[in-house]
Amino acid sequence: MSAEDLAQIAAQERALVFRDFNEGVAFEIGSLIRARGLAHAMPIVIDIRAFDRPLFYAALPGSTASNTDWARRKTNVVKRFLRSTYGLVLQQQRPDRTFKPGEGLDIKDYVLAGGGFPVTVAGAGVVGALAVSGLPERDDHETIVAVLCGYLGHDAGALALAKV
């Protein structure tokens, strides 16, 4: 577990907060991630949801149905814990990608894998999730963070995880 990464992810979660979030914002964010993915030939799925409904979905060339399912399970984890899934991966350190049995979370619906990030609105809290699936989990996470930094006006370099 990297204490530095965990601290940086906590800083990302605190900083990457929307003033408001709606269908239009979800479309803009999703479109920015899609453009980044296409520019870098990323075989990813992008799934943005309010907790009551889907708001944006795109599957880029090279992605698979498996990526769609991983994104769904990452979204479920964000909904349950209201946190970044990569932070939970680093915290829990479970190579089998499952939660501890005492959590009661079925692997078919929940996965410990980076690439799920909370959609947080100032004054309201976490209202949804943004998931990217198809890259190594740290890269899925960093793709989301880089785009959110650009959209929300934060310095992506200051909030990025250290290079490994």
Which residue in the block uniquely carries the two structure tokens 């999730």? 129
pLDDT in tens, 138-160: 999 999 999 999 999 999 999 99
Domain layout of the chain by residue ranges: 3-158
Long-range CB contacts for residues 87-95, cutoff 8 Å, separation at least 24: 87/6, 87/9, 87/10, 87/13, 88/112, 89/113, 89/114, 89/137, 90/1, 90/2, 90/5, 90/6, 90/9, 91/1, 91/6, 93/1
Whole-number average pLDDT of the chain: 96
Say which CATH superfamily domain 3-158 falls into: Haem-degrading domain (3.30.450.150)
| pLDDT(10) > 60 | yes
Total-model pTM:
0.95
